[in-house]
Amino acid sequence: MKNLRAKLLVLVPAMVLAPLCAPAIAAGPVSAGERLAATCTACHATRGNTVGATLPPLAGQPKETLLASLKAFKEGSRPATIMTQLARGYTDEQLEQVAAWFAAQKGDRP
């Protein structure tokens, strides 16, 4: 009886939680670019599809354009309040990964 109770204590929570984990498992692994780009979602929205006209959408822009902007922010040659500080926190390799990830996203704007 104790063995059955112990098995049920493990099995029942696993059966309840498994369906909740399925979407995360089905989505697959998160790339380094996507993980690093998560910082950008607060201002540039999910996947870089910015809402409104205040900030530029990042999704679907050419990688070279995005990378040039990110490096200019990092070097301070493109002045900004927040982006300069954020870009300085990334290595050049990480900036390339972020730019590549946003370039690969589908833009929602025409």
Cα separation, 32 vs 38, whole angstroms? 10
Q: What is the pTM of this model?
A: 0.70
Give helix then strand counts, H and E, for the chain.
Answer: 6, 0
Q: How does pLDDT run across 64-109, given as a tens digit for each residue?
A: 999 999 999 999 999 998 999 999 999 999 999 999 999 999 876 5
How many Cβ atoms sit within 10 Å of the Cβ of residue 62? 11
Mean pLDDT of 46-57: 86
Q: Does the pLDDT value for residue 5 go beyond 70?
A: no
